[in-house]
Structures are given as structure tokens and as C-alpha cells.
Structure 1
Amino acid sequence: MSELEEGVPLEGGVASDVRVVDTPDGPLVIKKALAKLKVAADWFSDPARAMIEVAAIEAFGSVGGKETVPEIVWVRPDENCFAMRFVDPRLSNWKSDLMGGKVDLATAARVGEILGQFHSRSAQQSELAEEFRDLQFFRELRVDPFFEYVAANKPEYSSRIRQIAEEMLGRRQALVHGDYSPKNILADGKDVVVLDFEVTHWGDPRFDVAYCLTHLMLKSALSDGHPAQLGAAIRAFLDAYRINGLSVLDAGLANITGCLLLARLFGKSPADYLVRLDTEAIEAKAIELFAFEKAPQTSDFFMIPELQE
């Protein structure tokens, strides 16, 4: 029996089989990339992306600090899987915390700080641009399901969405995580570990900021949520990024955020709490964002006003 078969499955992801396995040296997390993702729609990606993830974890640790990523224990390229040391259980999943009403502004600020440092430092390393130049997995796992799929199914928005996607793909400035969301962050106050690097590529850093921002905005809009607290988290995240990151808090960021909001409503991987959202308000905000042509003046531009306390 393989380690994966023996392990206890971890829930939450759609792109990989992830399990915890006990060993004499302590628990390991074994991750095996899937060819078909675990969603209702047909969504496929080459499982060889697992090796991109291993390289990306090492790069992120080198650029942003080894304490911000899990430790790689072994790698099996022929099986498209690898093992990581189990992260200190003191750190909890940030998405679960936010959904449960635990909003720690120190965590939100640290998440923005880490991302900003990762972008600004990697932008100076030309060797990373060469190593992560291939956009195959970003196209398969983000551009197709979050932009092209929505454009094909929402013709009233198709032209603008495709324009924004092309502009994004043309801006290649830094190493981009590609899945920088609360579900992939373990945290305890300022102690933060980032997970899931299989979409990492050299590209537009606005995508990472917009991706995390989208998740925070949606959680601020939960019908039974904590909008004022999540609004403060959005400010803390963006303010920390602004201090540490690249100059990307602009119209391009607003446009990508608008597309991603629509994707969480109509894409291949919609938010798993849609029934708790005012989808009309979300769609209206998305339209406002992807029509924007100048830099937002404050973080409050990314709030959903009618849902704030």
C-alpha cells in the first residue's frame, strides 16, 4: 500500500490528492497532482505541474524567507508527487478563521507584507524569469476557468474580460504565486506559512493581489458575516502590500479584481458559499471594477459599500 493510500485525506483543494501520513520522524503531507480537477465542470491540467510547485516553494523560501513555506522532504517526479513536513498545528487555516468570524488584522497585514516582499524581491532576479517563463499551467488553471470560461458564457462581458486577460498576460514583472488565497495560508497572528504553488509563473503581480483581495471581498459580503472587520482586513492587506510591494495598486488591479469576482460567481470554480452572498451586489461591484480606467485613490474602493456596517 502506498503512502497516499495509507494517509488521511485533507479537504479543501480541487487540483490535487493531499493526505497526511504518520512516519517515525513525524507527520508528512503528501501531495499528488491530479489530471482532472475535482469540480463539476470538465477542467484538466498536466499533473507534471507538481514539479513546478516544488521549484516554486524553494524559490519563494529563498526570496521571502524559509519560515514562510513548508519544508520539502522528498520528491518523486515520475509520480508527480512530493512530501512536505507537517506545519506546526498552532497555525490554523486562514480561510476557516475568516469564515468563523476570527479576523486578525496582524495576519492580514503580514499576508500583504509577505506578498509584497516576494514580488519586489523576485522582480530583481532575472534567473527566476527564465525558470518560470512557461505560462501553460497558469493558462490551464486560471486564464481558462476564471477568464475565458466566463467570457464564453457571459457574452455581455466577453470583450472586456478578454481584453483584461490579454493585458494581464502581457505584463510580466515578477514571480507570481497564482493561488494566493486564504485557503492556502496557515496563520497565527504574524506567523504565516503559504501553501499551494502549482500555478507559480513569471507574470503580472497584480493577479496575486487581486486573487487574495477577491476572496476577502467575498467574505466581507457574507450575509451572516462580519463586513466591518473584513473591511479592516482588506485595508491592512493592501496597506502592507503598498509599503513592501510593487506599484500595482492601479486600474489594472481593479480590472483583474472585477474579472475574478465574476469568476467566483460564474466560473468553473465558483465560491463554495454562493448561497450566503448577495450575488447581484457582487456582480455590480465587479462591473464597476473592470470598467475602471484610473488608479483607485484608497483601499475603500475595493469595499462593497452597501454591505459594510
Structure 2
Amino acid sequence: MVELEQGTPLEGGVASDVRVVQTADGPIVVKKALAKLKVAADWFSDPARSMIEVAAIEAFGDLGGRETVPEIVWVRPEDNSFAMRLVDSRLRNWKSDLLAGTIDPATARRAGEILGRCHANSAGRTDLATRFDDRRYFLELRIEPFFEHVAVKKPEIAGLIRDVAHRMLSRRQALVHGDFSPKNILADGGDVVILDFEVTHWGDPRFDVAFCLAHLMLKSAVADAPLNMVPAIRAFLHAYSLNGPSLIDRDLAQVTACLLLARLHGKSPVDYLDRVDTGRIEAKASDLLAMQHPPQVSDFMLPELSK
């Protein structure tokens, strides 16, 4: 039996121990959920969420195409671990590419297409609504650390943040990935594979769109090496709109605002925070949080890059 300790650790995640293990049938990735996440703050979650991830990989593969998710090799519920076939090495981590200045709209377009298709194809699926009804991991890993924690740290807008979270939790419309960010996307142009499904649940699809948007916007505020994220943001939103439900609305803007603030002040700030012009992000989050009308695509871009 393959043991996790035999593998080479992969960096980047905070919620799991992930390693590449060489086997007679080729390299596999073994993932074991952690009870305490690898961050400075006390942040805990039941490692049994790994079995939700296995089910979610299968579901998203059915909804968006098998080529868009990893192949499951084996599952070990008794120790909250599972193995996936190692993805083709020509696919690179999208976050790493973006921070290195490689911005390919084809990747953003494909990511938006896949996400939109999964949301649209899952809407109305009562079987998926039942299978992924449990939101405990979303509450532990997203609502508490990204919304409630920030509300406590920013009491002047705590009421607004909690209201946004409450309204988002009341909307249950589709299968939600819960961690749809560039760090969880491997890509080579339009060839895209999505990773990390452990907070998948039946909920508001706006969360996924806002989560990805917030990360793209944060990367446009890297002060020491400004990145023109306009093509990527436009491509992502356009492709999503063509394939997914209609949700470019005030609620999306406000969820995005909260997630921008979460990556500055939450329990898991972005790992390049010291490079971010936080003032620009705070100002944009304030604008989006106060928005009372449906946003334009340009509203999701920082002022200097929206002209």
C-alpha cells in the first residue's frame, strides 16, 4: 500500500498534505486532509471533508468534462486520503504564471467556460442538491475565516459583511466549487484542469465567480510588478456569461468586495501580500460593497487599468 510519507511534498496549499508518489503505474498525487490548517491563526476543519472532495471531482467531471478534473486512482476513507493521476506536466499552475507576468486570456476564457457550464448544468439537479447539501466545510473554511473574521477586524463595516454573507447563504442554486482560484487551476493556454474540491457544496454560484475575480484583481495590484489583468478579467467574465447563469449583479459585486477584504485581513491572506498595493484594493472593495446597481465588467478592474 502506498504511504504518504513516501512521496515528495507539493507546496501551495494550507488545508492538506499533498505529495507526489512514484508507483509502478506511474506518478500519482496523494492528498490527505489536515485537521488544523497550515496558517498562523487557529483554523480547524474535520478532515472527513476529503470524501466530499472525491465525490465533487466525479460530479464536476460529469458536468464540465472529464478532461477538466483529475483522474481518481484510489480512495482511503479510513485515513481521509485519496490518490489522483498526476496531471500532464505541460500544464502549469495558473497563479504562478500570472505572478510571473504570463497572462493568457485563453486560460481565463476556458476557466470561465468550465465554471459557467458546471453551474448551468447543475442547476435544478435535485440529486446534487441532496448529495452536497452539507455546508459545514464551507462554513468552517470560508464563512468563518473570510467573512466573520474580517467583520470582527473591521467593525465599521461588520454589518455590511455579515449581511452579504447571510444573503449569499440564503441562495442555493447550483453546485459550487468553493475554491475556484488561479492556484487551483493547471493550464496550458485553453487546456485547463481544475483542482481542490474539498469545500464543494450546493449554494450560490456567485461565490465561485467572485472568488476567482478577487484573485485576478489582487494580482493586478502587485505594486513591484504591475500586471495588466484586464484581458484575463474580461475573458473570464465573458466566457462565464455565455455558458453560465445570469448573475453579474449587485450581489456578485458585494461578495467580491468581501473576498477582496478577506485576502487582506482574513485568516488566510494571499501569500504575496507584502507586494500588494493594499490601498487600491481597500478602495475598490469599498466601492463594490457600497454598490446599489448592477455592475459593469469595468467595475471589477482597478481604476488605473480600466481605461
Shorter-chain TM-score bucket reads: over 0.9
User: Would you say 1:56 and 2:94 are equivalent positions?
Assistant: no
In structure 2, do the counterparts of structure 1 residues 225 and 242 end up closer, same or farther at CA, with 3 Å as the change threshold?
farther
- Aligned partner of 2:65 in structure 1 is 65
User: How many angstroms apart in 1 are the aligned matches of 2:206 and 2:135?
Assistant: 16
2:211 corresponds to: 211
Inter-partner Cα distance in structure 2 for 1:181 and 1:34? 20
CA–CA distance in structure 2, aligned partners of residues 217 and 142 of structure 1 = 19
1:169 — aligned with what? 169
| Residue 306 (str. 1) matches residue 304 (str. 2) | yes
3-state SS of paired residue (2:187): strand
* 1:84 match: 84
Does residue 102 of structure 1 match 2:102? yes
Give the TM-score of the pair, scaled to structure 2: 0.98
Supply the distance in 1 between the matched residues of 2:261 and 2:253 (Cα, whole angstroms). 13
Q: Distance in 1 between matches of 2:299 and 2:77?
A: 44
Q: Which residue of 1 is the match for residue 235 of structure 2?
A: 236
User: Is contact 2:177-2:208 (8 Å) kept?
Assistant: yes
Matching of residue 19 in structure 1 with residue 19 in structure 2: yes
Q: Which runs of 5+ in 2 are unaligned?
A: none
Whether 1:40 aligns to 2:40 is yes
Measured after TM superposition, the shift of residue 293 of structure 1 is 1.7
The Cα shift of 1:179 comes to: 0.1
Overall identity of the aligned pairs, in %: 68
Q: CA deviation at 1:215?
A: 0.3
Q: What does residue 137 of structure 1 align with?
A: 137
Please, which moves more after superposition, 280-289 or 4-13? 280-289
Q: Does the 8 Å contact 1:74/1:83 carry over to 2?
A: yes
Which amino acid in the other structure matches residue 137 of structure 1? Answer: Y
Contact kept in structure 2, 1:227 and 1:308, CA below 8 Å: no
Correspondence 1:262-281 to 2 at 5 A = 262-281=261-280
Any idea what the Cα deviations from partners look like across 1:183-222, whole Å, max 9, x if unmatched?
0000011110000000000000000000000000000111
Distance 1:221 1:153 in 2: 22
After superposition, the C-alpha distances for 1:108-136 in whole angstroms (9 at most, x for unaligned) are: 10000000000000003111000000110
Give the deviation of 1:2 after TM superposition: 5.5
Matches within 5 A, 1:239-254: 239-254=238-253
Partner of 2:29, secondary structure, is strand
Q: Give the distance between the partners of 1:262 and 1:292, measured in 2 at CA.
A: 15
Is contact 1:265-1:274 (8 Å) kept?
yes
Any conservation in 1 of the 2:124–2:173 contact (CA below 8 Å)?
A: no
Shift of 1:224: 3.0
| Equivalence for 1:287 | 286
Contact 1:227–1:307 (CA under 8 A) maintained in structure 2: no
- Other-structure match for 1:259: 258
Contact 2:253/2:289 (CA < 8 Å) preserved in 1? yes
TM-score by length of 1: 0.97
* 8 Å CA contact 1:93, 1:183 repeated in 2: yes
In structure 1, the gaps of 5 or more residues are none
Q: Distance in 1 between matches of 2:265 and 2:243?
A: 33
Q: Secondary structure at the match of 1:27?
A: strand
In the alignment, the residues of structure 1 paired with residue 246 and residue 112 of structure 2 have an alpha-carbon distance, to the nearest angstrom, of 13
Cα distance in 1, alignment partners of residues 21 and 238 from structure 2: 39
Q: Distance in 2 between matches of 1:287 and 1:256?
A: 12
Q: Deviations over 1:246-277 (max 9, x none)?
A: 11110000000000000011000011111111
Name the CA distance, whole Å, in 2 between partners of 1:148 and 1:169.
13
Question: Match for residue 198 of structure 2?
Answer: 198
1:308: Cα distance to partner? 5.8
Q: How well do the aligned residues superpose, as a CA RMSD in angstroms?
A: 1.1
Worse-matched range after superposition: 273-282 or 231-240: 273-282
Displacement after TM superposition at 1:29 (Å): 0.1
Amino acid at match of 1:155: P
Deviation readout 1:29-71 (Å, 9 max, x if unpaired)? 0000000000000000000000000000000001111000000
**Count of paired positions:** 307
